């Protein structure tokens, strides 16, 4: 087994027992949730780390190791935590309202004993500590984590960790290249939608599948056409109404071409205006997804940030 602080995507989940089930159905089709339980879990009540996957709300899966940052592994083990990672319906087949419905239904399933019932059925003897819950995620997952903090009742979530989160809709200028390949054409979205089968639920896609679709929706100004235009579905605007958020740590590279650092700055400014406990760490010259192999022992900013998150989460 690889050292906990030095895993690769291939070894990332070696120290866990992995479970997968459905937390809800849409059109009689299950929407999955992944569960990671450390193999050598100590007895007692176990904190919960809710981890939302990224992918622009267009692609991604609950158990996709390459986008599960390496530093989460030692964090999970030293906190003796259980990871719960839900899928959710994806754009463009589904709307922002449907995604947020999945978010609400996931938290209801978790809080109302759905996870515990599943684990009992699997003969997994663990006790969950609902007084210590961390919501986390990268990019679109950061959006889901922030929206969780903004929409769940006060006290449900102790802290939020958001990696370069989408606080507003995806929008980027078109370019000649995307992921070192010729950029897909603007017509890709229409071609894709013509092939969509009515009633089929899309809630999982293993990257790089559909990343080109995410790019076109963003680069050609069509994201909100499918997601929906209600600004209250975005943290940047919902924060003005809610004025409450659990203690939150955000980190974001200032060279991010997928999710603008300016969105995180604007969101944090509004949080600070409401006197909320939110920290933003800006990493100079870093692109989207820069932290997937980051290690605490090599990055003081990461070590300090995680220590702060742990204090808020586990106190």
Cα angle at 93 between 88 and 99, to 5 degrees?
A: 30
Domain spans, the chain: 16-314
Say how far apart CA 57 and CA 91 lie, in whole Å: 6
The whole model's pTM is what?
A: 0.96
Write down the mean pLDDT value for the chain: 95
Q: What is the mean pLDDT of residues 90-104?
A: 99
What is the chain's length? 315
Percent of the chain with pLDDT over 70: 96
Q: What is the mean pLDDT of residues 189-198?
A: 93
Phi, psi dihedral angles at 89 (to 5 degrees): -65, 155
SS3 category, 146? helix
Give pLDDT tens digits for 205-215: 999 999 899 98
**Class of the CATH-defined domain 16-314:** alpha beta
Band (pLDDT 50/70/90 cuts) for residue 147 is: very high
Cβ atoms of residues 86 and 48 within 8 Å: no
Torsion of CA 231, 108, 210, 193, to 10 degrees: -70
Give pLDDT tens digits for 48-72: 999 999 999 999 999 999 999 999 9
Locate the DSSP E strands across the chain.
16-26, 29-38, 45-52, 82-86, 127-138, 159-163, 177-178, 181-182, 248-253, 278-283
């Amino acid at each position: 087994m690889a050292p906990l602080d030095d895993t690769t995507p291939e070894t990332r989940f070696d120290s866990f027992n992995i479970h997968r089930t459905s937390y809800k159905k849409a059109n009689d089709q299950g929407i999955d949730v992944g569960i990671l339980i450390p193999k050598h879990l100590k007895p007692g009540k176990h904190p919960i780390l809710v981890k939302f996957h990224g992918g622009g709300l267009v692609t991604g899966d609950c158990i996709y190791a390459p986008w599960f940052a390496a530093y989460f592994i030692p964090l999970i083990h030293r906190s003796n935590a259980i990871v719960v990672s839900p899928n959710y319906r994806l754009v463009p087949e589904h709307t922002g309202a449907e995604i947020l419905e999945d978010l609400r239904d996931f938290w209801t399933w978790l809080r109302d004993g759905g996870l515990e019932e599943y684990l009992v059925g699997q003969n997994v003897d663990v006790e969950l500590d609902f007084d210590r819950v961390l919501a986390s995620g990268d990019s679109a997952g950061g959006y889901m984590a922030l929206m969780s903090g903004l929409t769940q009742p006060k006290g449900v979530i102790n802290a939020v960790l958001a990696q370069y989160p989408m606080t507003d809709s995806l929008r980027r200028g078109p370019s000649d290249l995307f992921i070192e390949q010729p950029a897909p054409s603007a017509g890709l979205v229409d071609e894709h939608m013509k092939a969509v089968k009515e009633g089929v639920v899309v809630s999982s896609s293993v990257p790089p599948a559909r990343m080109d679709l995410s790019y076109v929706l963003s680069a050609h100004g069509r994201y909100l056409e499918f997601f929906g235009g209600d600004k209250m579905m975005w943290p940047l605007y919902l924060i003005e109404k809610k004025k409450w958020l659990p203690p939150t740590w955000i980190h974001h590279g200032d060279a991010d071409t997928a999710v603008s650092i300016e969105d995180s700055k604007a969101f944090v400014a509004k949080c600070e205006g409401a006197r909320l406990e939110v920290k933003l760490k800006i990493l100079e010259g870093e692109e989207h997804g820069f932290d997937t192999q980051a290690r605490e022992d090599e990055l003081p900013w990461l070590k300090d940030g995680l220590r702060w998150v742990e204090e808020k989460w586990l106190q």
